[in-house]
Amino acid sequence: MKTIEQTFQVQFRYGVYFTENLFASDNNLLTDVLAHNNTGEPRKALFVVDSGVAQAHPSLFRLIDSYAAAHADKIKLVTTPILIPGGEEAKNDPDLLQQLLSAVNEYGICRHSYLIAIGGGAVLDLAGFAAAIAHRGIRLVRVPTTVLSQNDSGVGVKNGINAFGKKNFIGTFAPPVAVINDSNFLLTLEDRDWRSGISEAIKVALIKDAVFYQRIKQDAQKLANRDIEAMQELIHRCAELHVEHIGGADPFEFGSSRPLDFGHWSAHKLEQITNYRLRHGEAVSIGIALDVVYAQLAGMLSKAECNDVLELLQELGFDLFTPELAKQEQSGQLSILKGLTEFREHLGGQLTIMLLNRIGTGVEVHDIDSSLMQQAVNTLQQKHQPQKLTQV
């Protein structure tokens, strides 16, 4: 028997940049990013824009046109930006993926061209997936426009769409060539979207950085009141922690552990069974609450620290319970527990869930006690179910 064995390494490098007024004619950040991989000729660029962003920023297309005209030696627009509906609709409709692939084909976007995606995490996921599979990979620049995408989903290497009622069932690992965070996009966010991304900062602080957690507590009222400087600091540190982790030992998740998905096994299922009525960050806040209560009931986390986390989430305006959390199957089992099976299947191998044994330190467990999880759900329902106002 003969065997040929091959080993090689591929180095990935990309920057996460922070700016304001990205498309001001005197802001050279985008053209500098394009020039970094340039040979002297202007590069073709296909823009994909979240429709919600376009609505909130009606001058955006004009600014893109003016910017391209001012930098015609660096960038060449192939067509007007393609509008994609924001939110999970972007990831649930296969026709939208086909629309982007058709545009790549029609306008001759090649592996030395750029797809520049502007929007929230769902639109970035879709556009990134299209970029990853067209020509086996065209260059992607992400311009995240929400707190959630600027501090978490937009800075990583994952792309994907939903299928079979499951989050991110179809996807790739494909790093962008750059991520550009423009804080001006945050100013027009709805309160729900402003708040939603804060849950991801709490998540990563809880498992990695107790000092950062305390800073979030210190700034909680500022964040709740939409203080942009406090939010900029939160986004920068949260993105930094995510990037540091992604660049570690398992960036493409070949193992069965995904620490950054603390609180997510139930959050992903909650999004699906609420028909995406919950924003991702809202579902994550409930997932965090569920897992810290479970950890406290299991004797892993002190009651004081459990309550501290719950109080912070509430101070920031998050609900900690939704009726779907307590929904049961005909068998009597919690519907949410299907999320454990789907989580294990998504990663493969042994079930691995991140929990806490103290604030700032996560610990992996490989088994969840369903009866104890039912108690955790009951606790959240009894203490944190939103009260309906009674009309007199």
Share above pLDDT 90 across residues of the chain, in percent, rounded to a whole number: 78
Q: Per residue in 313-345, is it b (16+ CB within 10 Å) or e — as a string? A: beebbbbbbbebbbeeeeeeebbbbbbbebbbe
CA distances from 100 to 146, 204, 385 (A): 22, 33, 42
CB atoms within 10 A of CB 81: 19
- pLDDT tens per residue across span 104-161: 999 999 999 999 999 999 999 999 999 999 999 999 999 999 999 999 889 989 999 9
Which CATH number describes the domain made up of 198-384?
A: 1.20.1090.10
Percent of the chain with pLDDT over 70: 94
- Three-state helix/strand/coil letters over 251-278: CCCCCCCCHHHCCHHHHHHHHHHCCCCC
**107 near 79, Cβ under 8 Å?**
yes
Length of the chain counted residue by residue: 392
pLDDT score, position 250? 63
CA–CA gap between residue 192 and residue 48 (Å, rounded): 24
Residue type, 27: N
Burial of 169 (0-12, 13-18, 19+ CB in 10 A): middle
Q: Report yes or no: 203 and 263 within 8 Å, Cβ to Cβ.
A: yes
User: How is the chain split into domains, by residue range?
Assistant: 15-188, 198-384
Average pLDDT (377-385) is 91
User: 167 falls in which pLDDT band (50, 70, 90)?
Assistant: confident
- What pLDDT score was predicted for residue 259? 72
Distances (CA, A) of 13 to 32, 85, 156, 239: 15, 30, 12, 16
* C-alpha–C-alpha distance, residues 373 and 297, integer Å: 9
Q: Would residue 373 be called left, alpha or beta, if left means φ above 0 and alpha means ψ between -120 and 50 degrees?
A: alpha
Q: Is the pLDDT of residue 68 over 70?
A: yes
pLDDT tens digits along 227-244: 999 999 999 999 999 998
Taking a C-beta distance cutoff of 8 angstroms, is the pair 83, 103 a contact?
no
**Helices 228-246 + 198-208 axis angle, to 10:** 50
pLDDT in tens, 14-54: 999 999 999 999 999 999 999 866 667 899 999 999 999 99
Nearest residue to 256 (alpha-carbon basis) of 387, 371, 352: 352
| The pLDDT of residue 352 | 87
Q: Is the pLDDT of residue 256 over 80?
A: no
Q: Which two tokens stand for residue 154?
A: 């937009």
Q: What's the whole-model pTM score? A: 0.91
Please determine, for residue 268, whether its predicted confidence score (pLDDT) is greater than 50. Answer: yes
Tokens of 388: 């309906």
Lowest-pLDDT range, 159-168, 181-190, 214-223? Answer: 159-168
* pLDDT over threshold 60, residue 255: no
Count of beta carbons in the 10 Å neighbourhood of residue 110: 13
Q: Looking at residue 283, what is its pLDDT?
A: 96
- Matching fold, domains 15-188 and 198-384: no
Q: What is the pLDDT of residues 275-312, one digit of tens each?
A: 999 999 999 999 999 999 999 999 999 999 999 999 99
Partner residues linked to 119 by β-bridges: 144
Residue with tokens 């939160």: 234
Segment among 99-103, 221-225, 266-270 with least mean pLDDT: 266-270
CATH code of the domain made up of 15-188: 3.40.50.1970
Exposure string (b/e) for 27-65, b if CB count within 10 Å is 16 or more?
bebbbebbbeebeeebbbbbbbbbbbbbeebeebbeebe
